[in-house]
Chains A and B, each alone.
Chain A
Amino acid sequence: MGFLDVEDLKVYFPIKGGLFNRTLGNVKAVDGVSFSIEEGKTYGLVGESGSGKTTTGRAIIGLNDITAGKVSFEGKDLTSKKSKTSAVRKDIQMIFQDPYSSLNPRKRVLDIVAEPLRNYEKLSKQAEKQRVGELLEMVGLSPESILKYPHEFSGGQRQRIGVARTIALKPKLIIADEPVSALDVSVQAQVLNFMQDIQKELNLTYLFISHDLGVVKHMCDDIGIMYKGRYVEQGTKQDIFENPQHIYTKRLVAAIPDIDPKNREAQKQFREEVQREYEHSYNDYFDNDGLAYGLQSVSDTHLVALPEKG
């Protein structure tokens, strides 16, 4: 039994309409996703907008209802209704994408960071204040800022307040939903390096959701690529970046910008080549509905969505 196991996870959103508000169909946001994360590792979930990566993360933490499938954390089932309030939730926390809306604008930093502590740990006022001060120091903010409001901080600082709140309960798994995509590049690096630092310090496991392959390459050990609610490829960082098998992954990897201007021509040619291959062999990789096939294993760690042979 692994640390976090997701088996055939499905999250459908009903389309209501017609007479009596019937369910006319489903939007298959996540359609049969399986993966597992080892403790202490960072797992990257990559995909374009609307590919279901955020929904996957939200379903694991319980913000979206799971239609079918199983999520288990350290052997404990998270899918049952009862577990929504159980202490298991304490070990899974989330960093939100938008640092501007994820902090309550009416609360002081003290109240924001202390919120999880007040829910799970009964501390005295003084002890609570001290803990919050320590947490803020950990994320590189001065403890004096505990009485400020979120709007008095910059985006990067706000995201770090969010991180301080997330690590307050010493969780084991953190779901980071595009934690840096709302930040500018200089601050991105700062937040990412900081996340890696606390990962080592607290032995955290990350589920890192992102559309930025550069960031994913920097952060993650294992990567899953999603497209239209399904996995197209899964493997270690080396598998994905050095030996992409699926055409969708190849296009993604080809799209990573190269900062060396000398390679510009070669890069352009490479991209055009991938584009030609994509147009030529689209039908080999996607079924009639434009969805990815089931995963076939290529090596021990590497899974690719290919049609079954024969």
Chain B
Amino acid sequence: METNNVNGQDQVQDTTKSPSGASIFWREITRDKMALISLIFLVLITAFVYGISLFLNKEEIVRVDLFSIHQAPSEEFWLGTDYGGRDVFGQLIIGTRNSLSIGILVTLMTGIIGIVYGLVSGYFGGQVDNMMMRILDFFLILPFLMVVIAFVAIVPTYSVWTFSLIMTAFLWMGIARLIRSKVLQEKELDYAQASKTLGSSNFKIMFLQVLPNVTSLIVVTMTLNLAANIGLESGLSFLGFGFPESTPSLGTLLSYATNPQTLEYRWWIWVPAAVLILLLMLAVRNVGEALKRAADARQRRG
């Protein structure tokens, strides 16, 4: 009898430590080799570009040096130079940092706005929902590219923050609509109704009951958005509506390839940036998939 009791005690103690979200994610990611490699790659590249760029002198890198135009990779310039004689390697580091910063910032800001907007709209429904969705529609029909072009012309100092803000203003609608449609379903389920009968406030039901049930959707959308936002920033810069050449990003480097001479003979200017964009987007996606499984108990591998 006594040994049984002792065992029972032990079991209780064992189970009191519940797996935290982070440990579940860690278990999930070690089960998936691709995701693990992607995560390591992402962490390394992020640490590397943010770390190295602390020691790099941005002014020096973006200063035009007419004596070293279009140099092939050498010991002095690891990845050669562009048409202004600027070091491509340095630009790549700072460019990756800028692109990542914008991607992360925009994803976080659109995520927060979208989640709150979608939750409120979907949860209260009816007239509130109707009104909020019409406001959203208004933002949706604004021509994104045109506004960004106008913004480029108006704003004198173009920084990571201002660029992120303008992108956020036009990119939060997608996630808001997605969350809203899911919340419309979720709030009708018995558990949300039960919460109401148990005396929980609307705020509590929204953020503590319904929100955890849409996390997998949020995580997947946000990771895909992160990849998309990095791509979008690069695209805008490539078209010339993003950062100027004095603020390098992966997109500005890529845009050098619009020159056929550069495209054909000077691969070192644009190939590293292109490969980096591809790898970053792939890695983010892989990690997102692992996160998605970790967020949903039924999809977990271990």
Q: Give Cα distance in the complex from A61 to B197, angstroms.
A: 7
Q: Which of B190, B195, B198, B297 contacts A149 (CB 8 A)?
A: B297
Question: Does A94 count as interface, using CB distance less than 8 angstroms?
Answer: yes
Given contacts A101-B189, A147-B16, contact A165 B212 (CB under 8 A): no
Pick from A93, A101, A106: contact of B190, CB under 8 Å: A101
Asked whether, in the complex, the Cβ of B197 is within 8 Å of the Cβ of A119, the reply is no
Chain A residues near B (Cβ < 8 Å): 61-63, 85, 89-90, 92-94, 96-98, 101-108, 115-116, 119-120, 143-144, 146-147, 149, 151, 162, 165, 169
CB closest chain-B residue, reference A97: B190
Within 8 Å CB of B213, what residues of A? 104-106
Nearest 3 interchain pairs by C-beta: A102-B190, A106-B212, A119-B199
Q: In the bound complex, do residue A63 and residue B12 qualify as a contact, i.e. CB atoms below 8 Å apart? A: no
Q: Bound state CA distance, A107 and B213, in angstroms?
A: 9
CB distance from A131 to the nearest CB of B (A): 14
B166 to chain A, nearest CB (A): 35
Nearest residue, chain A, Cβ from B216: A106
Q: Are B191 and A63 in contact (CB under 8 A)?
A: no
- Complex contacts, A94 vs chain B, CB 8 Å: 194, 197
Which of these, B12, B15, B200, B298, contacts A115 with CB under 8 Å? Answer: B200
Contacts of B189 on A, CB cut-off 8 Å? 101
Query: CA of A94 to CA of B11 in the docked complex: distance in angstroms?
Result: 33
A178 CB to closest chain B CB (Å) equals: 12
Cβ-neighbour of A116 out of B190, B199, B209, B298 (below 8 A): B199
B291 shortest CB reach to chain A, Å: 15
Tell me the B158-213 residues at the A interface (CB within 8 Å): 189-191, 193-200, 204, 209, 212-213
Chain B positions 13 through 32: 1 when the CB is less than 8 Å from some CB of chain A, otherwise 0: 00110100000000000000
B200 contacts A105, CB within 8 Å? Answer: no
Smallest Cβ-Cβ distance to B212: which chain A residue: A106
Partner of A120, one of B11, B199, B298: B199
Q: How many residues of B contact A (CB 8 A)?
A: 23
| Given the contacts A63-B193, A101-B189, A115 and B198 also touching, CB distance less than 8 Å | yes
* Nearest-CB residue, chain A, relative to B18: A147
Which of A98, A116, A162: most chain B CB closer than 10 A?
A116
Cβ–Cβ < 8 Å partners of A102 in chain B: 190-191, 193-194
Are B194 and A89 touching (Cβ within 8 A)? no
- Closest CB-CB distance, B9 to chain A, in whole Å? 10
Most buried by B among A85, A115, A144: A115
Chain A residues in 8 Å Cβ range of B204:
119
Asked whether A165 lies within 8 Å of B198 as measured between CB atoms, the reply is yes
Query: In the complex, which residue of chain A has the Cβ closest to the Cβ of B194?
Result: A102
Residues from chain A with Cβ under 8 Å of B200 in the complex: 115, 119
* Complex contact B191–A119 (CB within 8 A): no
Number of interchain pairs (Cβ within 8 Å): 69
- A61-B197, A98-B190 known; 17 other A-B pairs, CB under 8 Å? A92-B197, A96-B193, A101-B189, A101-B190, A101-B191, A103-B191, A104-B209, A104-B212, A106-B212, A115-B198, A116-B198, A119-B204, A120-B199, A144-B15, A147-B16, A151-B297, A162-B194
A93 surroundings in chain B (CB, below 8 A): 197-198
- On whether the beta carbons of A144 and B199 are closer than 8 Å, the reply is no
**Smallest beta-carbon distance B76→chain A, Å:** 56
Given A105-B213, A105-B297, A106-B212, A147–B15 Cβ distance below 8 Å?
yes
Complex CA gap A162/B190 in Å reads: 11
Residues of B within 8 A of A101 (CB): 189-191
Closest to B199 in A: A119
Chain A positions within 8 Å of B190 at CB level: 96-98, 101-102
Shortest distance in angstroms between B12's beta carbon and chain A's nearest beta carbon?
6
In contact, A62 and B197 (Cβ under 8 angstroms): yes
Q: Which B residue sits closest to A145, measured CB to CB?
A: B15
Q: Name which of B11, B191, B200, B212 has the most chain A CB atoms within 10 A of its CB.
A: B191
Which residues of chain A are near B191, meaning CB under 8 Å? 101-105
Contacts of B297 in A (CB 8 A): 105-106, 149, 151
Taking a contact as CB atoms under 8 Å apart, the answer to whether B298 and A144 are in contact is no
Residues in B219-262 with C-beta less than 8 Å from chain A: none
The smallest beta-carbon distance between A241 and chain B, in angstroms, is: 31
Q: Which residues of B contact A169 (CB under 8 A)?
A: 198
Output the nearest chain A residue to B297 by Cβ-Cβ distance: A149
Shortest C-beta distance, B285 to chain A (Å), equals: 24
A115/B195 contact (C-beta < 8 A), A98-B190, A104-B213, A108-B18 known: yes
Distance between Cα atoms of A93 and B190 in the complex (Å)? 13
Contacts of A151 in B (CB 8 A): 297-298
Q: How far is the CA of A103 from the CA of B198 in the complex (A)?
A: 12
Known A97-B190, A101-B191; judge A119-B209 contact (CB<8 A).
no
Considering the chains assembled together, what is the distance between the CA atoms of A275 and B144 in angstroms? 69
Contact yes or no, A63 B15, CB < 8 A: no
5 contacts between A and B (CB under 8 A): A101-B190, A101-B191, A103-B191, A116-B199, A119-B198
A101 to B297, CA, bound (A): 15
Given contacts A93-B198, A96-B194, contact A107 B212 (CB under 8 A): yes
Contacts of A149 in B (CB 8 A): 297
Q: Interface readout for B75-114 with A: 1 if CB under 8 Å, 0 if not?
A: 0000000000000000000000000000000000000000
Q: How far is the CA of A98 from the CA of B297 in the complex (A)?
A: 20
Q: Closest CB of chain A to B34's CB: distance in Å? A: 27
Q: Using Cβ atoms and an 8 Å threshold, which residues of chain A touch B209?
A: 104, 107
